[in-house]
Structure 1
Amino acid sequence: MQLVPNPQAIRAAYPAELKTIMSIAEARRTRAWLAPWKHLAPEATPLWSLPKLAAQLGLGAVWVKDESKRSALGSFKALGAPAALSRLVLREHPAWDASGVLRGDYRAKLNGLVVISATDGNHGRALAAAAQSAGVRCVIVLHQHVSAEREHAIAAFGAEIVRIEGNYDDSVSHAAQLAEANGWRVVSDTSYPGYEEIPRDVMQGYGALVDELAEQGTEPFSHVLLQGGVGGMAAGVASYLWEQWGAQRPIFIVVEPQQADCLLQSALNGVASKATGSVDSVMAGLACGETSPLAWRFLAPTVDFFLTIEDQQAVDAMRLLAHGAMGDVPIVSGESGAAGLAGVLALALDQAFRARVGLGPEARVLVVNTEGATAPSVYQQLAGRSAEEVLLAQQRWQTT
């Protein structure tokens, strides 16, 4: 476990140059035209309070924004990929209705469009579902560490699967090569030189989950812990809260696997960098070796600390949530979904770390449960309960 402060972090108003890329106004616009999509829940995802865990840790409050309930697709990625696909289509057909793209209104006119992406699972599943809704052909590139269970979930939405050796970053390169050779369109959640517009659209889609927080009646958070990966989700959430609160923004802490520490390395090097470890992690959605340069433009000035955790810490957090922490609500949280809470536990239980990041009795901490049981058999093995058992326990908890 390693905690690294970010010397580039600042406290100031949200810069105008970043606002032209991502903004609250665009997040709300995206949320409005995504809302009718059949694969999204019609209501906001829950914001669970964990008061007993907070008391045990000596914190003022711990809140969990539960994206496992965003969609039957199982993760927050259900906001990013459809947003990017829709914006891609609308840039070429600006007179079309935004919600109509995912409703399939233009299916006949889009039958020549092919989209492709690499994925660790959740982004590819969301893109496949969005493409199926719109009537677009979809190709998904999977690396050797993506489970057959996740592959089948993607293929169920009609996507064509391409398997390669190597890791996530190798699959990103392969997808770009196939797109170039065949004239397909890459819809990726990571940027690279010459490719930023669509990753921006993906990140802007994630702002919808933050937009809901203002309607859920919470006071400002003092600390927000966000999963790493290539940095897209963290950038989408942090940019919104930075614009909203300006210099009074929360303390942002990014959590990533110890062996996939590309964002922590970016903080050490001062530029978007690569991970130093093997990258492979039980936190499959965070097993990324290269920082998205576009995401880093937002993370460099906003994230105060970067924290790496071990796989077992994420598994322990999964189990704690599944069984209801000390009588708090049971929550279905997948391997990557539990990383934020794992970070809270790691920091709060280490006196030196908690002092460095300012986790005291007044701290109001937000974590995002980014996924549910997207690989059900893996979830049950790691959490010690099936997702169905956890949801039944959750229902019982709500009625007592």
Structure 2
Amino acid sequence: MFTSNRHVLRSPYPDQLKAILNIASATQSRDWLSHWSQIDMTGTPLWNLPGLAQQLGVAQISLKDESARSPLGSFKALGAPIALLRLIMRRWPDHQLTAKDLFEGRHRGLLGQFTVISATDGNHGKALAAAAQAVGCQCVIVIHANVNEERERAIAAYGAQIVRSAGNYDESVEEAARLATKNNWNVVSDTSYDGYEDIPRDVMQGYSTIAAEVVEQSGSTADRCAFTHVFVQGGVGGLAAGVVGYLWEFHQLKRPRFVVVEPKQADCLYQSAVAGQVTKATGSVDSLMAGLACGEASPLAWKILQAGADHFMTVRDTDATEAMRVAATGNHRDAPLLVGESGAAGLAGLMTLLQQSAWKMEAGLDAESRVLLISTEGATAPSVYAECVGETAESVLARQAAWLKRAA
């Protein structure tokens, strides 16, 4: 499914949205993250894929590869740690806490009885658990019935207490809120709800790091964006809002078109665009693209997306699998890339859109288009990845290393 956003603004970045997401706060978040040993802040690769661009009939395809961001394996390493630090600093405003000292564990005595909790499909919970372990606070992670044991073990490895709930992701969010109220714990969620906006906003500011790096790596200027189109994953909308907000503020009227992509059965953003207001998904929500299997959009993220996202679309799980395989295969001009299930959504969206002539025309895609994709994760569930691609992550990375050696 594909729809254009009838509420999109073609204006300078509005002040009311700047109060939610802005470049100044994103820059501060980026500086704070540089003090965490789990993050590589030299910048993740921005791959140029000329072979695929020629095959699909566009001028350029670039892919931002977040699989290399951290041992955590995904872009979520940028959001949860910033939200945790800002939460702690708000809780103890007179202690002159710094990101460097917190990440180095110098306030463990202060934080030993402080507990954070969140629901997750995997990556957000793992990032929060790792950040909590670094600063020295307690962490409880709620996972729902469809989260596989491989992802559960990866979270538990960072010292988090795991609570398994029935139902889907949205029901695990409700369970996390219930436990927080009962035990006086602190919810660190990437989705907002009534009366809960500060922490999701902080998470989105961390995600803006991706857009900031893309600007630098691509040679974009305020007056010239290196890309005509940006395809970005949906989910609750946090990543999409972080990318849209940053690039819109940076480029103003010269911003690219934004296409938000989500699973067909977890279409809360698509349905919100059709309805003109936050609306629940219409499908089962369960998806191979586990990080995007969300039934309800974040109202805070929606404020950015309703104004700034040009198009919304859905893809099938089989489309994501095909995109994973295309990325992994590579060719003599394109490196083989390790792109996980949720990370493949943008490429799946592009490939799907280009097969539909009416949608392609409506989105303004043609032979002159320069497309940015964001691969949000690598093989965060290695067995799932191998089953989808027919090859292990280690094998793909070995072929990538050989390709780079030949290209040098």
TM, length-normalised to structure 2: 0.96
**Residue 362 of structure 1: aligned partner:** 368
Q: How many residues align?
A: 399
1:81-230 aligned at under 5 Å gives the runs 81-94=80-93, 95-219=96-220, 220=225, 221-230=227-236
Helix, strand or coil at the partner of 2:346: helix
Kindly provide the CA deviation profile for residues 242-265 of structure 1, in whole angstroms up to 9, marking residues without a partner as x.
101112211100000000000001
Contact 1:11 1:248 in 2 (8 A): no
CA distance in 2: counterparts of 1:214 and 1:245, whole angstroms: 10
**Which residue in 2 is equivalent to 1:50?**
49
Offset of 1:21 from its aligned partner?
1.7
Q: Which residue type is aligned with residue 334 of structure 2? A: D
Deviations 1:337-392 (A, max 9, x none): 00000111111222222111111111110010000000001101101111111111
Between the aligned partners of 1:261 and 1:42, the Cα distance in structure 2 is 32
Deviations 1:57-111 (A, max 9, x none): 1101000000000001000000000010011011123411122212211111111
- Code of the residue aligned with 2:326 in structure 1: it is L
Q: Within 2, Cα distance between the matches of 1:242 and 1:343?
A: 21
Report the counterpart of residue 386 of structure 1 in structure 2.
392
Which residue identity lines up with residue 57 of structure 1 in the other structure?
L
Q: Which residue pairs with 1:33 in the alignment? A: 32
TM-aligned CA deviation for residue 325 of structure 1: 5.0
Of 215-224 and 111-120, deviating more is: 215-224
CA distance in 1, matches of 2:239, 2:218: 23
Matches of 2:216 and 2:294, distance apart in 1: 33
2:31 alignment partner AA: A
What is the alpha-carbon distance in structure 2 between the residues aligned to residue 325 and residue 145 of structure 1?
35
- Check whether the contact 2:33–2:41 (CA below 8 A) recurs between aligned residues: no
Structure 1 residue runs of 5 or longer lacking an equivalent are none
- Answering whether residue 288 of structure 2 is matched by residue 288 of structure 1, we say no
- 2:255 aligned with 1:249: yes
Letter matched to residue 190 of structure 2: D
Match for 1:4: what amino acid?
T
Q: 1:307, CA displacement in angstroms?
A: 0.6
Shifted more, 207-216 versus 315-324: the winner is 207-216
Counterpart-to-counterpart distance in 1, 2:351 and 2:360:
10
Q: Report the alpha carbon displacement of residue 36 of structure 1 after superposing the two structures with TM.
A: 1.9
TM-score normalised to structure 1 length: 0.98
Describe the SS at the equivalent of 1:328.
coil
The answer to whether structure 1 residue 321 and structure 2 residue 320 are counterparts is no
Kept in 1: contact 2:50–2:333 (CA 8 A): no
Q: For 1:326 and 1:360, how far apart are their aligned partners in 2?
A: 24
| Matched-pair contact (CA < 8 Å) for 1:82–1:102 | no
Deviation at 1:327, TM superposition (A): 4.2
Report the Cα distance in structure 2 between the residues aligned to 1:345 and 1:269, rounded to whole angstroms: 26
Check 1:200–1:181 CA distance in 2 against 1; reply closer, same or farther (3 A cut).
Answer: same
After TM superposition, list the pairs within 5 Å mapping 1:256-335 onto structure 2: 256-325=262-331, 327-335=333-341
How big is the alpha-carbon RMSD for the aligned residues of Structure 1 and Structure 2?
1.0
Would you say the 8 A contact 2:35–2:99 is kept in 1?
no
- Alignment match, 2:22: 23
Which digits, 9 at most, give the CA deviation of each residue in 1:257-308, with x for residues without a partner? Answer: 0000000010111111100000000000000000100000000011111110
Cα displacement (A) at 1:218: 3.6
Q: Percent identity?
A: 56
SS of 1:254's partner is strand
Distance in 2 between residues matched to 1:216 and 1:172, nearest whole Å: 36
* Aligned equivalents of 1:33, 1:230: Cα separation in 2: 24
- Alpha-carbon separation, structure 2, partners of 1:249 and 1:170: 37
Look up the match of 1:71: 70
1:96-143 CA-partner distances (Å, limit 9, x unpaired): 112221221111111111000000000000000000000010000000
1:236 to 219, 231, 242: 242
**Cα pair 2:79 2:202 within 8 Å, conserved:** yes
Q: CA deviation at 1:27?
A: 0.6
User: Is this contact kept in 2: 1:70–1:76, CA < 8 A?
Assistant: yes
Secondary structure at 1:212 match in 2: helix
The alpha-carbon deviation at position 214 of structure 1 amounts to 2.4
8 Å contact kept, 1:376–1:387? yes
Deviates more, 1:184-193 or 1:85-94: 85-94
Is there any run of 5+ residues in structure 2 with no aligned partner, and where?
A: none
Q: Distance in 1 between matches of 2:294 and 2:15?
A: 30
